[in-house]
Structure 1
Amino acid sequence: MRIWRRLALMVALVCAAPGLVLAQDLGTVQSQILVLDIEGLFNRSKAGQRITRDYQAERERLIASNRRIEADLRAEEQALTEKRPTMTPAAFRDLADAFDAKVRGIRQDNEREALDLERRREVAPLQLMRLAEPVLVQIMRDTGGIVILDHRQVLLRADVIDITDLAISRVDVAIGDGTRPVDGPPPEDGTPDASPDVTPDQLDPETAQPESTEPGTSQD
């Protein structure tokens, strides 16, 4: 997935500043080369899980909405078909053409909404990485690291340099589920982060599109 390749390039940078002073042992492993499971950070952090939940909720909403629309269109098509014997061919064709245009418009709107949700879902991991960057920089300082590599780019490694679990725990403390300001105070112990309705940094899927329905063919 291209988003993960972009994140790999982003994380491999994070702070290779010359002259970086090795920090004192703060209870973390001291190593210049660190490894991070970027996808795991997204999937296992509170913010990533909240984004995924919001995405699923929005996806289900779109699917349910499309099913309702499809049912309404089928009922409208049936009603139009039943009127056909009482109408002239020209009058029926006008109504049929208007109905077909309505179906096409609805499909286009639904496709745009689905694509927009997909784009937001694709950029969500990148947005989370940007929020997490100060945390990753601090981990590098604490560990004496000069580079963070995507774990998929490393063939052989010692588990002691994998900072994924540490990054997840610190990101959870720093930004929670992502619904409070980054610089805001964390919630009190035992108080879960509030998760509002779907937010703009959310997500997209394959949503059921109303089937193309066309009334019976008119006969001149």
Structure 2
Amino acid sequence: MRTAIMALFLALAPVAGAFAQATSGAVLTVDMDRLLRETAIGKAAALRLENETKALQTENRRIDAELEAEEKALTARRSSLPAEDFRTLAEAFDAKVEKLRGEQDAKGRSLTEAREVERQKILEAAVPVLADLLAQKGGDVILDKNTVILSFDRNDVTDAAILAIDAALGDGSGAPSP
């Protein structure tokens, strides 16, 4: 039995050596969340989305205040209106509220989708820069550091990637950062 195991080991030794040679390049890691947070293009996208979110929140507060005032006015008229007339007005108000809530919810979902689209655009724009960095570092692959269970910090090229992306893409407005 021991001889069979030794024979198998010796038979596989050349394959293992070839595999080791084929995979001799470094596996590099990049913290993609940091990349999106700390690059100029990522910061610019985050600022745009934050401004759009704040504008939506302001619009939501304005609409809420208007609806609250309209509801109070409708409630105040209740005693002076026939029940059927009030019911008609109340149903119309409820329909208006539901319509506005649906519209505002759709705007919120659109912002969430815009965040993901921005993220994908940034990552797509960064691919050539990361490919250059991979070649410079002699690596074979770059993995997202957040999906790696264990690695040495020497394999993390996030800082270099941020600098390279900033140099190549700037804030995404068309001209690279100096």
What is the alpha-carbon distance in structure 1 between the residues aligned to residue 49 and residue 147 of structure 2?
28
Shift in CA distance, 143/80, structure 1 to aligned 2, threshold 3 Å = same
**How many pairs were matched up?**
154
Q: Distance in 2 between matches of 1:186 and 1:47?
A: 10
Counterpart Cα distance in 2 of 1:79 and 1:58: 32
Could you tell me which of 35, 38, 44 is aligned with 2:32? 38
Match of 2:132 among 138, 151, 176: 138
Within 5 Å, which residues of 2 pair with 1:87-126? 87-126=81-120
Q: Which has the higher helix share?
A: 2
SS in 1 for 2:139: coil
Match in the other structure for 1:24: none
Counterpart code for 1:103:
V
Indicate whether 1:153 and 2:147 are aligned.
Answer: yes
| Alpha-carbon spacing, 1:137–1:94, altered in 2? closer, same or farther (3 Å) | same
Per-residue CA deviation, residues 94-137 of structure 1 (Å, 9 max, x unaligned), is 11111111000000000100011011113322221100000011
How is 1:157-196 mapped onto 2 (pairs within 5 angstroms)?
Answer: 157-180=151-174, 185-186=175-176, 189=178
1:35-67 deviation digits (Å, cap 9, x = unpaired): 111111011111111111122211111111111
The structure with the largest alpha-carbon Rg is: 2
Identity fraction in percent: 38
Q: Distance in 2 between matches of 1:147 and 1:89?
A: 72
Structure 1: give runs of 5+ residues left out of the alignment: 1-30, 190-220
Residue 140 (structure 1) shift:
1.4
**Structure 2 unmatched runs, 5+:** 1-24
| Cα offset, 1:92, TM superposition | 1.1
For 1:83, the equivalent position in structure 2 comes to 77
> What is the aligned-residue RMSD (CA, Å)?
1.6
**Normalization by structure 2: what TM-score?**
0.80
Instruction: Find the counterpart in structure 2 of residue 17 from structure 1.
Output: none
Cα deviation, residue 165, structure 1 = 0.6
Q: Supply the distance in 2 between the matched residues of 1:156 and 1:110 (Cα, whole angstroms).
A: 43
Residue 38 of structure 1 aligns to which amino acid in structure 2? M
TM-score, normalised relative to structure 1: 0.66
**2 CA distance for matches of 1:155 and 1:77?**
56
